[in-house]
Amino acid sequence: MKVRVDELPHTGRVIHFHKNDEWLAFITEDAREIALSRPLEVDLELVPEADSIKLRGRLQGAVRIACSRCLQDFVLELDEAIDFTLLRPLSVDAPHEIDLRPEDLDTEFFDGVTIDVDLIVAEQIFLALPQKPLCQPDCKGLCSGCGADLKQEECRCEKIDKVSVFDALRSMKIDK
């Protein structure tokens, strides 16, 4: 969904929509690793300001994603607030390098004509995902030897007493 900035009333516009799994796959190629497990509910308010557009709203839904330890799919609930500012393109005579301030982290540039709401929502979904998704905080993962899922079964590896290459150092005596 694209919104033309010149069609926004000065009081702003409220957008509410539902999106399903096919939408996410259509929007971005990165969606191969995740899938929506229930439709996404999005409420957005777009308010034009002097040289920017303020976006506020909420994104709710659930995604199916693989656990980074046991590789089993699990459902991650999403309930994210959206609050950032879209800036119009910089003028030609603006400096090429600008130092970022902490408040600039909630800003993004757009072409000044249209706002691609779908891309913004997809970006917010990916930003809401944890760096290391876990099905459970105490997930034991997979055994590195036999590949057993340690939360469902015991390790099938033979227990071998490993001899350390540093064992020879234990018998050494150092004269002072």
Residue-wise DSSP of 69-96: TT--EEEEEEEEEEEEEEEPPPPTTS-S
142, 71 in Cβ contact below 8 A?
yes
- Does position 98 have pLDDT exceeding 70, yes or no? no
Tell me the C-alpha distance between 94 and 50, whole Å: 18
77 Cβ neighbours under 8 A, 6+ residues apart: 61, 62
**β-sheet bridge partners, residue 38:** 62
pTM recorded for the entire structure: 0.72
Q: What percent of the chain shows pLDDT beyond 90? A: 14
So what's the pLDDT on residue 127?
A: 86
The pLDDT-based confidence of 56 (bands split at 50, 70, 90) is very high
The domain ranges of the chain are 2-128
Residue type for position 133: P
